[in-house]
Structure 1
Amino acid sequence: MLQTAHRWEDMFRLTNLAFKLVGVNMSGSNSSDFLTVLKETWWFYISTLWMYTDVLGECYWFFEGVQTNKSFSELTFVAPCIVIGFVATAKVTAVLYNRNTTRKLLDILKELYPANAKVAPDDDVAEGNKIKEERDAELDEEETNVIEDSRNLSMKVVNILFWTNVATMVVFNFSPMAVMLYTYSKTKKIELGLPFIIKYPFDAFQLKVYPWVYLHQAWSSTAAVISLFAGDTMYCLSCTQLHLQFHLLRIRFQKLLTLADERDEEGVRRNLIDLMKQHQVLIRLVEMLEQIYTKSNFCNYICSSGLICLTGFNVTTNSDTVVVMSFLVFLSSNVSQVFLLCYFGDMVSRSSMEIANGICNSCWYKMPVKIKRTLLFVMMRCRKPCRITAFKYVTVDLTTFTKVLSTAWSYFALLRTMYTPSMH
């Protein structure tokens, strides 16, 4: 039998920790009382204010650089860091301001997950419990394998996002130290450096303030990376669980119509209604995930092409090896992040439509006429996929990913054509 009670917690352990580090408590209360909300979110506002003091400093340096005719290469060095700060904030804010919806979504998904038999008072959760309790004892080998594959996929995506974000954080935070140590070993002189180019109203390289400025920038970049990791893993894990439930539902439709006795019309009808109720629950869950992430997905979509373009431009035009390595890691992290978001959104859409395939591959033709009519309505609904969108502007799927890369490549080619000759 699957030992799933602790595995659900394992899947979301790093995600919940990341949210706590940036001040979002996923296990908090649903109270709307001002003091209660402030008590749960005070660290989020402090952390965000901390980060945006650096983001605003970068913006000030950028606009001053435009006025003083700084090189385009220098300006593009700062721009991606500014954009990623806004994207990171959008991802966490989306969950924070929809925290009640997020908690409800996770509660229902947990109750639907096999062997997590805890009854909650919420109507949707209770409906999920009723359906789940009737089927948990009947998990066959195919369903067990599907559950294990889903769990393995969840752990893999968490690990991928964890290590790509850690690599980005380490490279940007510690490369100035590495450069200082290398320079000192060669010249016996200390040349102070900082992770980011930020305009301050004081000399940031005075020995009295330099360590604090360095730590301030380091935590700002760390908070941004943690925010990206938290928002992305919550989205990907939720999509994985929805995909799992749609997959299991397809199997159960197929099993019901293949193994059921067509002469027991009442029994088939009763079981079919239970599966249709579960389908309705899953449709509501996709709508909840859409509500949570639609705005942050839009922010990510409009920024991704520019981020990939500018980061690639820095990688190919900069002669500083440290800068090239830093932005190469940043580029890899950004592309993998956009791909995973689109891949998992596409996975939910495809799995929601595959229920119709499960019905077609069954012995539906042996069923009574009334059952066939009901199945026809189910198949008609499945022709309309459950989509996750970017503010209703585009659907988050692999087609959108190719558009992002195509647009980024067009911008990149244009920049190379316009600015590379002048640099030589």
Structure 2
Amino acid sequence: MDIPSFDEIFKQIKMNFWLAGFICVLYFTTVDSLYFVMTTHVASHFALLSNDFKDLDGHTTDILNSIVKRHQYILSLAEDLDNIFAVPNLLNVLVGSLEICALGFTLTMGEWTETPGVILFLFSVLLQIFMMSFFGENIIKESSNVGKEAFLCKWYTMDQRSKKTILQLMQRSSRPQRLTAYKFSTISYESFIKIISTSWSYFTILKAVYKPPEVQRNE
């Protein structure tokens, strides 16, 4: 039984590439739409909570307890959100790295007639991963802003108990809420850069291993 060459395997992969890519983009777009809506919902609640601290002073400490309870509730929502999307985020990171690598390889080694479709597909994958990182970064920013706004309120006019409550809230906000890829990495701008870096590493290895058909015949 003849063992297929690398070029034959590559052609077979390209035959199934577009169908698999379409199914993958369709599936992840559906999941990502829900992800975008829910992360925006949680981040907006953090932003509203930060806004409540602007007019807080010694005469409005009666609403401080309700603010703290809301903060705890939003933190629990963010943790639930991380648990729900931990696996989809991990798949986005892993599959996205492989897709960028494969598309980059096809773009440099494939036929010129495939270039427009490959560029469009590559742009959609990059946009998808960037949007995932953008909303993850938004959660981090808005959750950390709660502690900053708490520090800027007129806490110095409050009683001792309220000051301790503000301090505890600031300490909790110093550890911003994060969305993760199944606890392996944090979804943020930094993770987007890491995905691009990993894809480039895969691409250079694949390009070094691949030999064009002309080179194989000459050998």
TM over 0.5: yes
For 1:335, give the aligned amino acid. Answer: L
Task: Indicate the structure (1 or 2) with the bigger Cα radius of gyration.
Answer: 1
Q: Percent identity?
A: 28
Q: What does 1:237-252 align with in structure 2 at a 5 Å threshold? A: 237-252=37-52
Equivalent pair of 1:80/1:307 in contact (CA under 8 Å): no
Corresponding position of 1:360: 151
Distance in structure 1 (CA, Å) of the matches to 2:181 and 2:214:
37
Query: Is 1:313 the equivalent of 2:105?
Result: yes
Name the CA shift for 1:76/1:311 in 2 (closer, same or farther; >3 Å). farther
Q: What does 1:142-161 align with in structure 2 at a 5 Å threshold? A: none
Q: What does 1:96-245 align with in structure 2 at a 5 Å threshold? A: 221=22, 224-245=24-45
Query: Is 1:68 the equivalent of 2:9?
Result: no
Q: Deviation string for 1:357-376 (max 9, x for gaps)?
A: 10122222222221111100
Question: Aligned-pair RMSD on alpha carbons?
Answer: 2.3
Query: Is 1:327 the equivalent of 2:118?
Result: yes
For 1:77, give the aligned amino acid. Answer: K
Distance in structure 1 (CA, Å) of the matches to 2:81 and 2:20:
24
Corresponding position of 1:292: 84
* Structure-2-length-normalised TM-score: 0.87
Bigger RCO (CA 8 Å, 6+ sep): 2
Q: 1:77 aligns with which of 14, 25, 31?
A: 14
Q: Deviation string for 1:310-333 (max 9, x for gaps)?
A: 111101111241x22222111111
Query: Is 1:253 the equivalent of 2:53?
Result: yes
Q: Deviation string for 1:5-53 (max 9, x for gaps)?
A: xxxxxxxxxxxxxxxxxxxxxxxxxxxxxxxxxxxxxxxxxxxxxxxxx
Query: Is 1:391 the equivalent of 2:178?
Result: no
Instruction: Report runs of 4+ in structure 1 exceeding 3 Å deviation.
Output: 78-84, 223-226, 420-424
1:423 offset after TM fit, Å? 5.5
Equivalent pair of 1:83/1:307 in contact (CA under 8 Å): no
For 1:274, give the aligned amino acid. Answer: S
Query: Is 1:349 the equivalent of 2:149?
Result: no
Q: 2:172 aligns with which of 372, 375, 381?
A: 381
Q: Deviation string for 1:357-411 (max 9, x for gaps)?
A: 1012222222222111110000111111111111111111111111100011122
Corresponding position of 1:182: none
Unaligned runs of 5+ in 2: none
1:79 offset after TM fit, Å? 6.8
For 2:30, give the aligned amino acid. Answer: A
Equivalent pair of 2:6/2:210 in contact (CA under 8 Å): no
Please give the secondary structure, in 2, of the residue aligned with 1:384: coil
Corresponding position of 1:281: 73
Indicate the larger mover: 66-75 or 364-373.
Answer: 66-75
Please give the secondary structure, in 1, of the residue aligned with 2:56: helix
Distance in structure 2 (CA, Å) of the matches to 1:347 and 1:78:
39
For 1:349, give the aligned amino acid. Answer: I
* Structure-1-length-normalised TM-score: 0.47
Equivalent pair of 2:180/2:187 in contact (CA under 8 Å): yes
Q: Deviation string for 1:200-228 (max 9, x for gaps)?
A: xxxxxxxxxxxxxxxxxxxxx4x654332
Name the CA shift for 1:255/1:80 in 2 (closer, same or farther; >3 Å). farther
Distance in structure 1 (CA, Å) of the matches to 2:112 and 2:49:
54
Q: Deviation string for 1:222-270 (max 9, x for gaps)?
A: x65433222111101211121111111111112223xxxx2x4xx51x3
